[in-house]
Amino acid sequence: MHRGRAPSKGPSAPVHVYQQPPRLLVMHAVLPSWAGVCSNLCDALHNFFSITCSLRGPSRVSLLSVYVVQAQHECILPFVQVKGNFARLQTCVSELRVVQREGCFRAQRASLNLAVQDGLQQFQQYSRHVPSSMALPFSCLEVTVVTSQPGKEVAKQLEEGLKNTNLSRVRRLQVVEITDSVLESMDSAPPLEELAGDENCVLGTDIDLQTIDNDTISIEIFFKAWLHYAGTDQEHVHLLLPPRCSSGFLRATENPMCLKCDLQERLLSPGLLPGSTASPLGTEVPMEDLNTQHQTASQASSAPYRLRVIKALKFSGVCESLMYGLPFILRPTSCWQLDWDELETNQQHFHALCHSLLKREWLLLARGESPSPGSSQTVSSSTFYVIMPSPSLTLLVKAMATRELMLPNSFPPLLQDTPDDSLGAVESALDSLELEATYNPLRVCGHLYERLSSTLTRPRGQTHWESRSLRKVAPHTRGPPPYSVSKHPCKVSRVRATVAPLPITTAPSREPTMPETQRMSSAAFVLPSEEEEEEEEAYL
């Protein structure tokens, strides 16, 4: 199998925190096991699309295409921009729900390989038609095959079937096996990161194998990992520690110890979502956090953002009311441009720092620094952060208040003597509460997905991707768009692209009719001409 490393943007290219590769999702819907995973998989995709399409700011998932493989391979979603296409994505989920779940047929082993090849061809054709003003964030594709079959067998099938295929434009090929081992109870549920699943096996250097549980939460968390920045072309943050001291004195000639780290979000910012969730406790306070500063610094310079440690603090000496903004995670970098010895030394130093801070019960106070000191600004303000260790190989970072941000407050001391009647009433109320040793966010549901989905599916008229053939059949018909979410999934009109499947054949010059469109099994995206766009705008 011919694989090539994704082309690097080079050391001078700015890093965008949200930049993600285009993705090809292949559903290996083999009977009878498909029936056991279909519902959970579709629910997870529905939840994932509702929150991804609602996030403000840059698109977290740029392009997506979906294939289904049973007796044949079929493209149910040609490459589309995820943001702004919620109705079309929901149509894709509706089609997945009605994919055959019962019966028996002779599976074609070549269909899975053809789906990957067809998706790669579709991506190449899409890339050729995209204008320069809409350049793709990555030139390579990430392929994910979701299956309920034994993952190792599917991976070997792909490895054998694609050995003569040029996969130089495939950034990563991953097989995800959904197992039937459902969590026994939410009380024993593992942490969020463990549910996302680790890479259990790597066959050679080509195909990654991952296993996740067959429940909506686990599958949903797997897809949410796509919202993280996945680039490894450059480290994100440099954590600068004071130089080593000798006999109690700092060596002025030595440079500070630099730990190279990657930045990762811990939570999705509620401020990026529409509605009341953007205003915690009924307030709307815009706050510049580490993520925003890192993005600004990355756009202005190719150097990573710097955090210079200036003081050590005791755990007991920091009030959490002085912290603001969302927490972020620092972890040792996985930048591929560093050699193995430097990566290993950097990780060992990072591990030693976490261990030492836990042993001393210390926190670190750091000042954020612009990576380009020669700024045109005469005076630049500083943002300070508190860095907290954890039992895992990570550090938690939160912004800290400074004198300029403080508001006057008077906190009276807590009285030692409490009236017996008040104490008894409160104690009785507290005794009625269920006590949990730890907070598990997986057990708390805020019904956010339902609200976002209802907001995104409000009628807004016909959409620009509506089939032209349907318009010609009933141009004066009033009613909801044919691709809106329907209460009758079996009546949903299927979305098809307009290039014939493998092997490549010449597309007909005439416009396909509705029956021909339904018979097409897979295809690639073709951008409409300017005349067709003007015709659509005039019609709408």
Query: 503-519: per-residue pLDDT in tens?
Result: 433 334 434 433 333 33
Which residue's structure tokens are 């997986």?
442
Same domain, 479 and 394: no
Last residue of a domain, one of 381, 409, 437: 409
Assigned domain for 423 exists: no
Residue 318: pLDDT above 80?
yes
Q: How far apart are CA 456 and CA 177, in angstroms?
A: 31
∠ CA 441-268-276, rounded to 5°: 90
Q: What is the DSSP string of 386-431?
A: EEEE-SSS-EEEEEE--GGG------PPPPS---HHHHHHHHHHHH
pLDDT at site 521:
40
499 vs 420: which has the higher pLDDT: 420
Same domain, 50 and 109: yes
- Expressed as residue numbers, the domain containing 301 is 237-409
467 vs 122: which has the higher pLDDT: 122
Q: How far apart are CA 57 and CA 194, in angstroms?
A: 28
pLDDT at site 517:
36
pLDDT at site 455:
87
Same domain, 224 and 256: no
∠ CA 304-306-307, rounded to 5°: 150
Residue 281: pLDDT above 50?
no
Q: What is the DSSP string of 218-283?
A: HHHHHHHGGGS----SS--EEEEEPPPEETTEE-TTSPPEEEEEEEEESS--GGGSSSGGGSGGG-
Percentage of the chain lying above the pLDDT 90 cut = 41
**Taking the CB of residue 253, how many other CB atoms lie within 10 A of it?**
6
Kindly indicate the confidence band of residue 30, based on its pLDDT and cuts at 50, 70 and 90: confident
Q: For residue 348, with 0-12 CB atoms within 10 Å meaning exposed, 13-18 middle and 19 or more buried, which class applies? A: exposed
pLDDT at site 57:
82
Angle, nearest 10°, between helix axes 216-224 and 34-52?
Answer: 50
Helix/strand/coil for 117: helix
Assigned domain for 170 exists: yes
362 within 8 A of 317, measured Cβ to Cβ: no
535 within 8 A of 471, measured Cβ to Cβ: no
- For the chain, the domain total comes to 2
Same domain, 164 and 101: yes
Residue 526: pLDDT above 90?
no
Helix/strand/coil for 86: helix
Percentage of the chain lying above the pLDDT 70 cut = 65
pLDDT at site 536:
43
23 bridge partner residues = 64, 142
Assigned domain for 439 exists: no
Q: How far apart are CA 232 and CA 224, in angstroms?
A: 19
pLDDT winner (highest mean) among 1-5, 61-65, 101-105, 293-297: 61-65
Residue 237: φ, ψ to 5°: -135, 140
Same domain, 293 and 206: no
157 bridge partner residues = none
Same domain, 38 and 52: yes
Pairing of strands 23-28, 245-246: unpaired
Mean pLDDT of 298-327: 85
Assigned domain for 452 exists: yes
367 within 8 A of 307, measured Cβ to Cβ: yes
Same domain, 175 and 53: yes
C-alpha 217 chain-centroid distance: 15
Helix/strand/coil for 11: coil
Q: How far apart are CA 459 and CA 455, in angstroms?
A: 9
Same domain, 319 and 180: no
458 within 8 A of 54, measured Cβ to Cβ: no
Same domain, 227 and 247: no
Cis peptide leading into 503, omega within 30 of 0? yes
**Taking the CB of residue 117, how many other CB atoms lie within 10 A of it?**
19
For 110, residues 6+ apart whose C-beta sits below 8 A from its C-beta are 161
Last residue of a domain, one of 357, 382, 409: 409
H helix count then E strand count, the chain = 13, 18
Same domain, 110 and 207: yes
233 vs 429: which has the higher pLDDT: 429
- For residue 250, what is the domain's CATH number? 2.40.290
Beta strands in 82-216 (DSSP E): 141-147, 166-167, 170-179, 199-203, 207-213
pLDDT at site 58:
81
Pairing of strands 237-241, 305-314: parallel
pLDDT tens digits, 479-495: 434 333 333 443 434 44
Q: How far apart are CA 8 and CA 323, in angstroms?
A: 37
Residue 319: pLDDT above 70?
yes
Residue 255: pLDDT above 90?
no
pLDDT tens digits, 166-218: 888 898 899 999 998 644 344 444 444 444 444 444 443 478 999 999 999 99
Assigned domain for 111 exists: yes
The single-letter code of the amino acid at 294 is: H
Q: Buried b vs exposed e over 444-475: b needs ≥16 C-beta within 10 Å? A: eeeebbebbbeebeeeeebbebbbeebbeeee
395 within 8 A of 387, measured Cβ to Cβ: yes
Same domain, 224 and 244: no
389 within 8 A of 358, measured Cβ to Cβ: yes
Assigned domain for 414 exists: no
Last residue of a domain, one of 393, 409, 425: 409
pLDDT at site 290:
64
Q: How far apart are CA 353 and CA 364, in angstroms?
A: 11
pLDDT at site 413:
86
Mean pLDDT of 371-397: 79
Q: Buried b vs exposed e over 202-234: b needs ≥16 C-beta within 10 Å? A: ebeebbbbbbbbbbbbbbbbbbbebbebebebb
pLDDT at site 60:
84
The single-letter code of the amino acid at 372 is: S
Same domain, 255 and 397: yes
